[in-house]
Chain A
Amino acid sequence: MLAASSVEMRKVNKYYGKFQALKDVDLSIPPGKVTCLIGPSGSGKSTLLRCINFLEEYDSGEVRIDGQLIGYDAPNKKMSGRKLREMRRSIGIVFQQFNLWPHMTAKENVAEGLIRVRRMSKADADRRASEALAKVGLADKFASHPSRLSGGQQQRVAIARAIAMEPKLMLFDEPTSALDPELVGEVLSVMRTLADEGMTMVVVTHEMGFAAHVADQVGFMEKGELIDIGSPDRILHRPQDARIQSFLRTYHERNSF
Chain B
Amino acid sequence: MEWSVLQQYGPSLLKGFGNTILCWALGTVFGMALGLVIALIQRYAPRWVRWIVQAYIEVIRGTPFLVQLFVLYYGGPLVGLRLDALPAGLLGLTIYGSPYFAEIFRSGFRAVPHGQIEAARGIGMSEADVVRRILLPLGLVSSLPALVNFSIILTKETVILSIITVPELLYQVQRMSAETFRYVEANLVLALFFWGLVETISRVGLRLEARITKHLIERT
Bound state CA distance, A36 and B121, in angstroms? Answer: 24
- Residues of A50-76 at the interface with B, using a CB-CB cut-off of 8 Å, are 53, 55
- What residue in chain B is nearest A162 (Cβ atoms)? B123
Q: Is B166 in the interface zone, CB < 8 Å from A?
A: no
Contacts A88-B124, A99-B113, A112-B133 known; 5 new A-B pairs at CB < 8 A: A99-B119, A102-B216, A117-B125, A148-B215, A162-B123
A112 neighbours in B (Cβ, 8 Å): 120, 123, 125, 133
Indicate which residue in A93, A116, A147 contacts B125 across the interface (CB closer than 8 Å).
Answer: A116
B122 neighbours in A (Cβ, 8 Å): 53, 55, 88, 91-93
Bound state CA distance, A213 and B219, in angstroms? Answer: 34
Q: How far is the CB of A147 from chain B (nearest CB, A)?
A: 5
A101 neighbours in B (Cβ, 8 Å): 116, 119-120, 133-134, 138
A145 neighbours in B (Cβ, 8 Å): 215-216
Q: Is B11 in the interface zone, CB < 8 Å from A?
A: no
State whether A103 touches B118 (Cβ < 8 A): no
- Could you mark each residue 1-43 of chain B with 1 if its beta carbon is under 8 Å from any beta carbon of chain A, else 0? 0000000000000000000000000000000000000000000
Q: How far is the CB of B156 from chain A (nearest CB, A)?
A: 33
Bound state CA distance, A163 and B137, in angstroms? Answer: 25
- How many chain B residues touch A (CB < 8 A): the figure is 24
- Residues of A105-152 at the interface with B, using a CB-CB cut-off of 8 Å, are 112-113, 116-117, 145, 147-148
B67 neighbours in A (Cβ, 8 Å): none
- Residues of B135-154 at the interface with A, using a CB-CB cut-off of 8 Å, are 137-138, 141
Q: Is B79 in the interface zone, CB < 8 Å from A?
A: no
State whether A147 touches B215 (Cβ < 8 A): yes
B127 neighbours in A (Cβ, 8 Å): 81
Q: Is A6 in the interface zone, CB < 8 Å from B?
A: no
B126 neighbours in A (Cβ, 8 Å): 81, 85, 116
Indicate which residue in A81, A86, A99, A147 contacts B116 across the interface (CB closer than 8 Å).
Answer: A99
Interchain Cβ contacts within 8 Å, total number: 80
A99 neighbours in B (Cβ, 8 Å): 113, 115-116, 118-119
B: residues with CB less than 8 A from A are: 113, 115-116, 118-127, 129, 133-134, 137-138, 141, 215-219
State whether A147 touches B219 (Cβ < 8 A): yes
B217 neighbours in A (Cβ, 8 Å): 147
Bound state CA distance, A165 and B129, in angstroms? Answer: 17
Bound state CA distance, A55 and B216, in angstroms? Answer: 26
Q: Is the interface of A mostly helix, strand, loop or mixed?
A: mixed
Most buried by A among B121, B122, B129: B122
List 5 contacting pairs A-B, 8 Å CB cutoff, sorted by A.
A95-B118, A100-B116, A112-B123, A116-B125, A161-B123
Q: Is A43 in the interface zone, CB < 8 Å from B?
A: no
Most buried by B among A55, A85, A161: A85
Indicate which residue in A85, A88, A102, A116 contacts B215 across the interface (CB closer than 8 Å).
Answer: A102
State whether B124 touches A113 (Cβ < 8 A): yes
Q: Is A97 in the interface zone, CB < 8 Å from B?
A: yes
B137 neighbours in A (Cβ, 8 Å): 103
B115 neighbours in A (Cβ, 8 Å): 95, 97, 99
A103 neighbours in B (Cβ, 8 Å): 137-138, 141, 215-216
A23 neighbours in B (Cβ, 8 Å): none
Q: Is A89 in the interface zone, CB < 8 Å from B?
A: yes
User: Given A99-B118, A101-B134, A88 and B123 touching (CB < 8 A)?
Assistant: yes
Indicate which residue in B118, B134, B141 contacts A55 across the interface (CB closer than 8 Å).
Answer: B118
Bound state CA distance, A55 and B122, in angstroms? Answer: 7
State whether A86 touches B119 (Cβ < 8 A): no
B119 neighbours in A (Cβ, 8 Å): 93, 95, 99-101, 158, 161
- What residue in chain A is nearest B217 (Cβ atoms)? A147
- What residue in chain A is nearest B130 (Cβ atoms)? A116
B116 neighbours in A (Cβ, 8 Å): 99-102
State whether A88 touches B121 (Cβ < 8 A): yes
A165 neighbours in B (Cβ, 8 Å): 123-124
